[in-house]
């Protein structure tokens, strides 16, 4: 009797792991205020805006800081005057010490000749000692005045830094995802960030895959992601996978860096697949494979006689089955392995015109049950 057969041919088989998830920022930056206990006066950006590094985001109240700055300006003038006074005193002390030293030196030179009495020499020595003490005191007073001036100058820098930090700025360029800052609110260390920024506005795909699929994933694998509103899938590369599985869900997180992220918004639902492996093997229509008690077989037609051949199957998708072992390239296989055929039966093979999968439909994935589990 005539039977329809297909010729077994090798083709490229691509195993795909289905993934379901959403878009998320590759790296988020939380912006907290440096100054605590200040009122927010102005909001300069909104969520959805792109900001540059250092760009002002919000302004805090600086009234108290400016009052301290004015007070510090007066303190600086007083400190400068004090330094000038002590410097003058030091000059006077230096002149006095120089004069008393000369007098003492002259008295010491004349005393051996009897021109200067011992009492007068002692008086000159005492005068010079007092001058030296006053000189040392003047130097210490000047150093103290200069130290006070430095402290006041440092206080001014701290006040100026407070005023500078009252402008909340973007630490890096990127996309403003959320704005929690509110006009009139008080900044606090216990509150959340005022702004959350997606660094460089880079968006990637984040998904959770089941345990059986997770162990097959490796960084660098290619992926295709389908987004709502886009005509075609976006390509991407598996950038990062979790170090461990969630013990509650038995799933692991994977992050896929997309080839193009301009215009993408975090939070969008998406689905796709990761290409786990690619190889060449024989592909047959699913109807050609007969499964009985867990054993897979096909009918091979050779010289007009059927031969029941046990085969090892691999991936399945779109009605096609991958044959790992048991079949050679070029052999004729019965298209529909029904119960009407038996081994060693004489038949007349008729080659099917469209029985073999086309070159554009050779992608294979894991069994449907696992795909459903991954989607859940």
- pLDDT tens-digit readout, 186-245: 999 888 999 999 999 999 999 999 998 898 899 999 999 999 888 888 999 999 988 889
Cα–Cα dist 159/63, whole Å: 11
Task: State residue 145's pLDDT score.
Answer: 96
The tokens describing 342, both together, are: 């038996």
CB-count exposure of residue 199 (10 Å: 0-12, 13-18, 19+): middle
Q: pLDDT tens digit string along 243-293? A: 889 899 999 999 999 998 888 889 999 999 999 888 888 989 988 998 888
CATH class of 28-61+168-197: mainly beta
In sequence order, the 6+-apart residues with CB closer than 8 A to the CB of 59 are 40, 41, 42, 44, 166, 167, 168
Task: State residue 356's pLDDT score.
Answer: 45
Q: How far is CA 337 from the centre of its chain?
A: 55
Tokens 């400068």 -> residue: 80
Break the chain into its structural domains and give their ranges: 2-11+280-351, 16-25+199-278, 28-61+168-197, 63-166
DSSP calls for 36-68: -S-BEEEE---TT-EE-TT-EEEEE--HHHHHH
The tokens describing 213, both together, are: 């699929």
Task: State residue 373's pLDDT score.
Answer: 36
Q: For the chain, what is the mean pLDDT?
A: 89
Cβ-contact 257, 237 below 8 angstroms: yes
Cross-strand partners of 126: none
Q: Is the dihedral of CA 299, 280, 210, 319 positive or negative?
A: negative
CA angle 154, 160, 162 (to 5 degrees): 105
Task: State residue 320's pLDDT score.
Answer: 85
Whether the model clears a pTM of 0.75, i.e. scores above it, the answer is no
The confidence band for 354, taking pLDDT boundaries of 50, 70 and 90, is low
Name the least confident of 89-103, 183-197, 228-242, 356-370: 356-370
Q: At residue 314, does pLDDT exceed 90?
A: no
Q: DSSP state, 357?
A: P
Phi first, then psi: give them for residue 37, nearest 5 degrees: 75, 20
CATH of the domain spanning 2-11+280-351, picked from 3.30.200.20, 3.40.350.10, 3.10.20.30, 2.40.420.20: 2.40.420.20
The confidence band for 135, taking pLDDT boundaries of 50, 70 and 90, is very high
Look at residues 16, 20, 18, 19 and name the one whose alpha carbon lies nearest to residue 277. 16
Cβ-contact 8, 323 below 8 angstroms: yes
Phi first, then psi: give them for residue 40, nearest 5 degrees: -80, 120
Q: Which CATH architecture has domain 16-25+199-278?
A: Beta Barrel (2.40)
């Amino acid at each position: 009797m005539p039977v329809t057969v297909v010729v077994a041919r090798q083709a490229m088989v691509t195993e795909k792991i289905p993934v379901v998830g959403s878009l998320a920022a590759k790296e988020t930056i939380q912006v907290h205020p440096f100054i605590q206990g200040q009122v927010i006066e102005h909001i300069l950006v909104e969520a959805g805006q792109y900001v540059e590094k250092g760009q002002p985001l919000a302004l805090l109240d600086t009234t108290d800081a400016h009052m301290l700055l004015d007070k510090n300006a007066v303190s600086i003038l007083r400190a400068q005057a004090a330094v000038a006074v002590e410097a003058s005193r030091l000059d006077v002390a230096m002149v006095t010490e120089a004069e008393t030293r000369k007098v003492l030196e002259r008295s010491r030179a004349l005393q051996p000749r009897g021109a200067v009495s011992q009492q007068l020499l002692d008086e000159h020595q005492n005068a010079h000692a007092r001058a030296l003490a006053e000189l040392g005191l003047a130097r210490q007073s000047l150093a103290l005045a200069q130290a006070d001036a430095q402290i006041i100058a440092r206080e001014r820098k701290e006040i100026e830094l407070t005023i500078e930090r009252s402008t909340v700025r973007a630490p890096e360029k990127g996309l403003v995802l959320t704005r929690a800052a509110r006009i009139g609110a008080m900044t606090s260390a216990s509150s959340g960030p005022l702004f959350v920024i997606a660094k460089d506005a880079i968006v990637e795909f984040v998904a959770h895959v089941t345990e059986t699929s997770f162990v097959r994933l490796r960084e660098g694998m290619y992926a295709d992601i389908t987004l709502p509103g886009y005509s075609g899938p976006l390509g991407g590369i598996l950038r990062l996978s979790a170090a461990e599985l969630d013990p509650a869900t038995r799933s692991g997180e994977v992050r896929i860096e997309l080839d193009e992220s301009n215009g993408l918004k975090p939070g969008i639902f998406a689905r796709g697949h990761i290409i786990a492996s690619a190889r060449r093997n024989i592909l047959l229509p699913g109807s050609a494979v007969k499964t009985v008690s867990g054993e897979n077989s096909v009918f091979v037609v050779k010289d007009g006689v059927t031969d029941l051949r046990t085969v090892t199957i691999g991936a399945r998708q779109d009605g096609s089955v991958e044959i790992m072992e048991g079949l050679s390239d070029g052999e004729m296989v019965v298209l529909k392995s029904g119960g009407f055929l038996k081994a060693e039966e004489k038949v007349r093979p008729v080659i099917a015109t469209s029985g073999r999968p086309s070159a554009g439909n050779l992608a294979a994935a894991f069994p449907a049950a696992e795909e459903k589990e991954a989607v859940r």
